[in-house]
Amino acid sequence: MKNLSNDTLPWSVAILIDSTFLNRSSLHGENIHRFNHGKGFIIGHRWTNIVLIINNTVIPLPPIEFYTKKYCKDNNIEYVTENEAIIEYLKKLNLNEYIGRHDPKKIVVMGDSAYDDKRIENIIKDKKWSFVMSLKKKRSVKSEHKFNFKPKSHGWCGVDIFFKNHRRLKWQTIRVKPNGVKKNDWNIVSDILSDTFDMLEKLG
């Protein structure tokens, strides 16, 4: 995140969204739930952390607590999913209160694939912010060429299949030595990136 403050990225402020869990040994207890967390299930309490990063400084924002359906029913609280809670949070978030007047184009929201939700992304776009999200492998995508020249309903495939079908470059391992990176190493990396970008531009 150091690049946010040295003008090497198009943004100067980042909003990070991530879930935090407090493990419990069983489901016995108040507001304890069994969550699907990537590669497995976790039993415990869950909340969503929202933080700002500006000038290499981390500013924690009020977190979003997650309530189970049972807890909501017992306490007369309207149940909402985590993503629905994030949508309402972002709608009401006034960054002027934290960083003063700013250019919304300098704001980027970052999250993992759990937040690859078009409703969240549309809220971010409405605020004229940018976002960087991990994509779920089943998310449907198409190449820019097909997007421009094929009917809207044709040419879609999952992210995993897309990269499997279009990866035309061989894997090349780069080893960074403990005593530092030599100029030649950076030249190799630069060449690989250049080839990758050229390949992506020609996808179709």
For 67-124, how does the pLDDT look when each residue is reduced to its tens digit (9 = 90+)? Answer: 878 878 888 989 888 899 999 999 999 999 988 899 999 999 998 888 888 899 999 9
Distance CA 191, CA 197 (A): 10
Domains of the chain, by residue range, sit at: 1-134, 137-204
For residues 45-74, give the mean pLDDT: 83
User: What angle (nearest 5°) sits at the alpha carbon of residue 157, between those of residues 151 and 163?
Assistant: 125
Band (pLDDT 50/70/90 cuts) for residue 137 is confident
Half-sphere exposure of 131 (CA within 13 A, CB side): 22
**Tell me, what's the pLDDT at 34?**
59
Residue pointed to by tokens 């044709």: 154
Q: Is the pLDDT of residue 49 over 90?
A: no
**Any idea of the CA torsion for 148, 152, 155, 158, to the nearest 10 degrees?**
110
pLDDT digits (tens, 9 = 90+) for 156-194: 888 778 877 776 656 555 554 545 545 455 455 555 555
**Closest to 92 (Cα-Cα) out of 54, 58, 62:** 62
1-134, what's its fold?
Nucleotidyltransferase; domain 5 (3.30.420)
